[in-house]
Amino acid sequence: MLQLQTIRENKESIVTALKKRNIDAEPILCAILDLDEKRRSIQTELDGTLAESNRLSKEIGQLFKVGKAQEANAIKAQTAGLKETSKQLGEDLNATTAALQEHLYQVPNIPHQSVPSGNTDQDNEEIFREGEIPSLSEDALPHWELAKKYDIIDFELGVKVTGAGFPVYKGKGARLQRALISYFLDKNTEAGYTEVQPPLMINEASGYGTGQLPDKEGQMYHIQADDLYLIPTAEVPITNLHRGDMVSQEDFPIKYTGYTPCFRREAGSYGAHVRGLNRLHQFDKVEVVRIEHPNNSYQALDQMVEHVKNILRELNLPYRVLRLCGGDLGFTSALTYDFEVFSTAQDRWLEISSVSNFETFQANRLKLRFKDENGKSQLAHTLNGSALALPRVLAGILENYQTPNGIKVPDALVPYCGFDEIK
């Protein structure tokens, strides 16, 4: 959420910056400033009314002390009117503050200056590519066919138990899935991230804290009886570990990693491009989260990008890195790099990670602050990234490592799963 002071001081530059997102922010920013002015005006009037009421209350006490009851009672009638006025002003203030907050929630983050303009994912900017795309035989299969052939993932059984988008991993498929989780966590902890195991459900405050609410409530599973949400990513509970905190500058960088299942409704997602593991309602992901001093957050973002690159190099998967354009940028992000693995059998790129800097956008919602050298309270910067999302990584491994006789296992994973081939 953008800070009010930032909007007051930089309205025109924000309007210009948000054009990269193909948004005309002029109307809503004007509405925000009008509501802010109204809120401050009501607050000033309320403060004056309460001050006058307090002054008269003291005067009434003094008059009673000196025996001037008639004068005191006359003033009491005046204070009754002030109390009614202050009550109404308080209600107006609460309503205006709530309306202001709702308007602020509707404004996305300001794109970083390096974000390219564009409308769709076709306008994203490829900034890096690495790895050799393997040459497969003419009878090479997509991963959903391989999963059936080798009996390692059962999509139909998942439909029976729950519904589409909830696969059942079996035998070596389950072991390979577990191996990937352990491998990713080990790589992250070796890089200095502290492992945590967060809750899989969040309350409403946590959803608002990281920006899933009110923007994406239709994409989350909502448990209405308890007013809880199943997490769409570990980013949400992990970042909320510091909601409302005043951290110390000496604590930076704060680095976490965590494995969780993730749950997304993915409403409206249909077609051949979402077959198999390409898009699921439940999937596993290992996340990295960083809380940084504002001066260091973009250096931290570069480090996270290099960290994911190193993992993909070890897995020997062909990948590329994209800088997302304004039209494809997430609501809360200032700058996002997407990683995509090339699926040779599908002849397409599959997104397997997003690494983002949110600057102060989430921290302002979370009230996550630190004191600078002058003792002044400042908002921290938050970052997160997938390291990595398992379904499409697994799809890439199955498809790119297939041979006429079976599926080889990347060397880095063999110690974790205890076998080097699926036959």
pLDDT tens-digit readout, 301-354: 999 999 999 999 999 999 999 999 999 999 999 999 999 999 988 999 999 999
Number of H helices, E strands in the chain: 12, 19
CB 380 within 8 A of CB 292: yes
> ∠ CA 83-84-90 to the nearest 5 degrees?
85
Is the residue at 116 inside a domain? no
What confidence category does residue 271 fall into, taking pLDDT thresholds of 50, 70 and 90?
low
Residues making up the annotated binding site for L-serine are 233, 264, 287, 384
169 and 75 in a common domain: no
Q: What CATH number is given to the structural domain containing 16?
A: 1.10.287.40
Computed over every residue of the chain, the mean pLDDT equals 95
Is the residue at 249 inside a domain? yes
**Beta-sheet strands, E only, within 153-217:** 153-154, 168-169, 194-195, 201-202
pLDDT in tens, 376-416: 999 999 999 999 999 999 999 999 999 999 999 999 999 99
Residues making up the annotated binding site are 233, 264-266, 287, 351-354, 384
Listed in sequence order, the residues at least 6 apart from 44 whose beta carbon sits closer than 8 Å to its beta carbon are: none
**Mean pLDDT across the stretch 278-303?**
97
Q: Which of 166, 335, 192 is nearest to 253 (CA)?
A: 192
383 and 288 in a common domain: yes
148 and 39 in a common domain: no
CA distances in angstroms from 316 to 134, 263, 285, 289, 400, listed in the order given:
10, 28, 19, 25, 10
Q: Which of 281, 279, 301 is nearest to 290 (CA)?
A: 301
Judge whether residue 42 has pLDDT over 80: yes
Out of 7-21, 262-276, 370-384, pick the least confident.
Answer: 262-276
353 and 263 in a common domain: yes
What confidence category does residue 256 fall into, taking pLDDT thresholds of 50, 70 and 90?
very high
- Which of residues 75, 105, 135 is at a domain's end? 105
Q: Residue 209: its pLDDT value, please?
A: 97
Q: Residue 57: its pLDDT value, please?
A: 84
Is the residue at 11 inside a domain? yes
Q: Residue 240: its pLDDT value, please?
A: 98
Supply the Cα-derived Rg of the chain in whole angstroms: 27
Q: Residue 267: its pLDDT value, please?
A: 63
Judge whether residue 233 has pLDDT over 60: yes
146 and 78 in a common domain: no
Judge whether residue 232 has pLDDT over 80: yes
Is the residue at 115 inside a domain? no
276 and 203 in a common domain: yes
233 and 297 in a common domain: yes
Q: Which of 275, 321, 280, 319 is nearest to 301 (CA)?
A: 321
Six token digits for residue 407: 């599926």
- Which of residues 70, 105, 140 is at a domain's end? 105
311 and 380 in a common domain: yes
- Which of residues 52, 71, 105 is at a domain's end? 105
44 and 152 in a common domain: no
pLDDT in tens, 151-201: 999 999 999 999 999 999 999 999 999 999 999 999 999 999 999 999 999
Out of 18-27, 66-75, 136-145, pick the least confident.
Answer: 66-75
194 and 77 in a common domain: no
Q: What CATH number is given to the structural domain containing 282?
A: 3.30.930.10
Q: Residue 291: its pLDDT value, please?
A: 98
**Cα gap 152→402, rounded to integer Å:** 14
- Give the domain extent around 276: 121-422
Counting the structural domains of the chain, the total is 2
Is the residue at 69 inside a domain? yes
251 and 137 in a common domain: yes
290 and 152 in a common domain: yes
Is the residue at 379 inside a domain? yes
Residues making up the annotated binding site for ATP are 264-266, 351-354
Listed in sequence order, the residues at least 6 apart from 165 whose beta carbon sits closer than 8 Å to its beta carbon are: 158, 266, 279, 280, 281, 282
Neighbours of 58 (CB within 10 A): 10
